[in-house]
Amino acid sequence: MAASSSYEGVLLGMGNPLLDISAVVDEAFLTKYDVKLNNAILAEDKHLPMYDELSSKGNVEYIAGGATQNSIRVAQWMLQIPGATSYMGCIGKDKYGEEMKKNAQAAGVTAHYYEDEAAPTGTCAVCVVGGERSLIANLSAANCYKSEHLKKPENWALVEKAKYIYIAGFFLTVSPDSIQLVAEHAAANNKVFLMNLSAPFICEFFRDAQEKVLPYVDYIFGNETEARIFSKVRGWETENVEEIALKISQLPLAEGKQKRIAVITQGADPVVVAEDGKVKTFPVILLPKEKLVDTNGAGDAFVGGFLSQLVQGKSIEDSVKGGCYGANVIIQRSGCTYPEKPDFN
C-alpha cells in the first residue's frame, strides 16, 4: 500500500448522523407501531413512543449510525489508514451527540459535526425480527444541517482534500443545496462523486432533488427494491434489475462527466454492475442462515467495503469483492459493528 499520507482525507462522507437504538423485537411490536419488516422510513408522531420502549429492553444496544456514517466507518476500518476518511453532518449538544463524537474518534474518522443548540441528536429505531431489520429514523438535529457549516474554511478544506465524496440519498431530505455544492465541486475538479438511492421513499417523494443531482453522480448504489421503485416512478415498465441498472447508468451526465456506473445489490443474489452499456453480475459471499445476526447496515457496509478498494485505485471487480466482504462481516454481528481488524485480501 502507498504511503498513508497520500491517503489523508481521500474519502469524504456527508449525511444524517443517527444514534441507532437497536433491539430484537417480535411481530407484535411491529404491528403495534405499524412498521413493515425490512423497510426504512421517517418517524411520524405515532412512532415516537417506540424509542423509549426500545431503550427499556434488556437487549438494547446503542451504535453510531446513519447510512453515510456507517459506510465511512466501514471504509475506514477496511483501509486501516488513520485519517483516510472524514465526515460531516449535524448532531445535537447532548449525551447522544457526545457518544457520537467518541464513536467517530474511536473509528478513526475525522468528523466535523455541526452542533445544533436546539434539537436533540437524531436517533434511529432498529427493530430486528428473525435477523431482518426495520429502520425508523427520527432525524431531529440531523435535519438541521446547513450549507453555511459546509462553507466554513475548516470544513470546506475537507471537501478540497477529498478525491472521493459519498452521500447517501437520505441527505436529499435535509440539505440538497449542500449536495449540489459538493457535486459541482467534484465535477469541476475531476473528483469522483458517489450517491445511493437509499430508500423507496426517496425515489418516490424526493424525485426532483434526486433528479437535479443525478447528472453529477459517477457511481450510484442501491438495492433491488429501490431500483424497482426508481424504475416505476419513471414509468420504465420493467422490474428486471439488470435492465434498470443499465438505464440508470445511461441517464444524462453533467458537463465534464465521462460515465456513470450503477451498482445494485440484491441481498443473497448476485450484485449487478452496469457500466459502458454492459451489465456484469458478481456473486456475494453466501452465509448459512444460522450465522445471520441481523441485516442492519448490510447495504451501508457493502458501500464502505466497495469504497475502501475504489479509493486505492482497485478495479470494479475488487471493489465489489470488498463490498461483499464488508456486508458479510456486518450481518454476522449486531448493528453496523466490526471486529478490530479486517482479514480481507
Round to whole Å and give the CA distance between 159 and 104: 18
104 touches 336 (CB < 8 A): no
DSSP state of 120: P
Active site residue 218: no
Cα dihedral across residues 108, 114, 119, 125: positive or negative:
negative
**Cell 502507498, residue located:** 2
| Given 177, 269, 300, 318, the catalytic residue | 300
Round to whole Å and give the CA distance between 261 and 166: 14
All three cell numbers of 336: 453496523
DSSP state of 240: -
Q: What are the φ and ψ backbone dihedral angles of 35, each rounded to 5 degrees?
A: -115, 135
What 3-state class would DSSP assign to 200?
A: helix
Helix (H) or strand (E) holding 86: strand 85-92
**C-beta neighbour count of 165 within 10 angstroms:** 23
Helix locations, the chain, DSSP H? 27-32, 49-55, 67-79, 95-107, 147-151, 153-161, 176-188, 200-205, 207-213, 224-233, 241-249, 298-310, 316-330
- Residues with catalytic function: 300
